[in-house]
Amino acid sequence: MLKVEIRGNADLRKALRAFAPDLETALRTELNAALKPVVKKARGFVPSQSPMSGWQARSFSEARFPVFNYNTITRNIVLENRVSKRDKNGFTSLARIVNKSPAGAIYETARRPQAWVGPSASGASKGVSRSANPKAGAQFIDNLGPVTSSLKGQGRFIFRAWAESRGVAEGAANKAIDKATREFYKRSQKQSFSRAA
């Protein structure tokens, strides 16, 4: 799964939900407005046809490599507008745009071909190409087209859409977070909160 995250104080979201649900609803609405255009743009970059004839659906017995399916890839580029679980570095995010489909994530970020070992190589090592064609990996990457760099990473769908937003989406999302934070603290100065039912 691949994602672009807006990181912020996840405790804010929990506090809003517990003590000021109207602010949490407003924050969710504003984050949707800021980030959904990026999702729509990213989905628009997915080609309707596979860039390679061999990356189509095949019989169950053939291989486990994820197949290209336009509907699956576009449907799985989504906005998750909730507090995430902590990642391996201990960070959480308030909202993130995620590419949940394995084929979509491969298409998004593939940049280097796997080492070629050929179909007759022994062993069960992963991360190698067992294709009969030693140039298959390089041809696969070439057919996907170039990746676009953004401040969040490099890719062909989400990261490209993020780069093309030129900071507008992130600015709007951060403004919504800041606005909710300020309003929450302003209210806390005027009244003592009781937990929402």
Can you give the C-alpha Rg of the chain in angstroms? 21
Contact 78, 104 (CB under 8 A): no
Listed by start position, the domains of the chain span 2-15+30-116+125-170
The model's pTM is 0.80
Find the angle CA(59)-CA(65)-CA(68) to the nearest 5 degrees.
Answer: 80
pLDDT at 58: 63
Give the CA-trace dihedral at 66, 67, 69, 73, to 10 degrees.
Answer: 20
Tens digits of pLDDT across the chain (197 residues): 555 455 556 777 777 887 888 999 999 999 999 999 999 999 999 999 988 877 776 655 455 678 899 999 999 999 998 877 877 887 777 888 999 999 999 999 888 878 877 777 776 667 777 778 888 888 888 989 898 988 788 899 999 999 999 889 989 998 998 898 888 888 877 766 555 54
